Amino acid sequence: MRAQPGPRMADTRQVLWHHFQSLEHQKETSALGMWIFLVTEILFFGGMFVCYVVYRTAYPDAWLSGSATLDVRLGAINTAVLIGSSLTMALAVHAAQAGQRRLLVAMLLLTMALGGVFLGIKGVEYHHKWVESLIPGPGFDFHGHGAGVTGVQLFFALYFALTGMHALHLVIGMGLMANLVRQGTAGRFDAAYYTPVEMVGLYWHFVDIVWIFLFPLLYLLGRH
């Protein structure tokens, strides 16, 4: 348990757990734990990326046709939105470091809003695929040039698995951020203690990195 949990003040005595020697020690431990989690996340997405590489090698034409149906403009806009949200997240951590509580909450809210914009655009794209009968399953209907239906269906299965899992991570990140906003508004963070903000930041940037790879792998490969 915390030595003396104090909702308002966040000085060294109140936020330091007794089994750590110092705030620095406690923070490094948190960061290391978060990084270990993120490494398991790399391998979690890695499994799906391997699947992608295997089937792209097996069905190269289907991959090109499938990719060509995606809206590269919406994908690029979403890339910019997510990179923007990483910037506001970094600025949120910076505000926490500087003890600027109002700015911290504002930046967290802005990051959540950008996450919402991303999910909205993603929803529009999913809707297009629904209308075009490109959801893998019995109703799948693809009239392409040359590429077999099996391969294209595999492409879309991976497209939905990868982007869906990525979207789920965004939703979780926004939930974590809502919690940070609540705590930040209550004055739980200041320049001495803002570890939760930094940890959620690491998670958010990781989700951004996943998209940095998904965008070229899914949207850009069939352009030329």
Residues in the site for other proteins, rule: CB under 8 A? 24, 27-28, 31-32, 35-36, 38-40, 42-43, 46-47, 49-50, 53-54, 57-58, 72, 76, 79-80, 83-84, 86-87, 89-91, 94, 97-98, 198, 201-202, 205-206, 208-209, 212-213, 215-217, 220-221, 223-224
Q: Which is nearer to other proteins, 24 or 137 (CB)?
A: 24
Q: Considering the complex, what minimum distance in angstroms separates the CB of residue 133 from other proteins?
A: 26
Phi, psi of 188, rounded to the nearest 5 degrees: -75, -20
Q: Considering the complex, what minimum distance in angstroms separates the CB of residue 118 from other proteins?
A: 14
Angle at 173 between CA 201 and CA 192, to 5 degrees: 35
Q: Considering the complex, what minimum distance in angstroms separates the CB of residue 216 from other proteins?
A: 4
- Alpha-carbon distances of 176 from 38, 85, 104, 197, 204, rounded to whole Å: 15, 15, 14, 9, 10
- Cα 57–chain centre separation: 27
Q: State the Cα–Cα distance between residues 164 and 49, nearest whole angstrom.
A: 14
Angle between helices 149-185 and 60-68 (to 10 degrees): 50
Q: Considering the complex, what minimum distance in angstroms separates the CB of residue 205 from other proteins?
A: 5
Q: Which helix (H) or strand (E) holds 26?
A: helix 23-58
Q: Identify the CA nearest to 111 among candidates 202, 204, 182.
A: 204
Q: Which is nearer to other proteins, 36 or 149 (CB)?
A: 36
Amino acid identity, residue 15?
V
Q: Which is nearer to other proteins, 98 or 168 (CB)?
A: 98
Q: State the Cα–Cα distance between residues 211 and 179, nearest whole angstrom.
A: 24
Q: Which is nearer to other proteins, 72 or 161 (CB)?
A: 72
Q: Considering the complex, what minimum distance in angstroms separates the CB of residue 152 from other proteins?
A: 19
Q: Which is nearer to other proteins, 58 or 186 (CB)?
A: 58
Q: Identify the CA nearest to 128 among candidates 159, 171, 82, 169.
A: 159
Q: Considering the complex, what minimum distance in angstroms separates the CB of residue 86 from other proteins?
A: 5
Q: Which is nearer to other proteins, 50 or 172 (CB)?
A: 50
| Residues 107 and 97 sit within 8 Å (Cβ to Cβ) | no
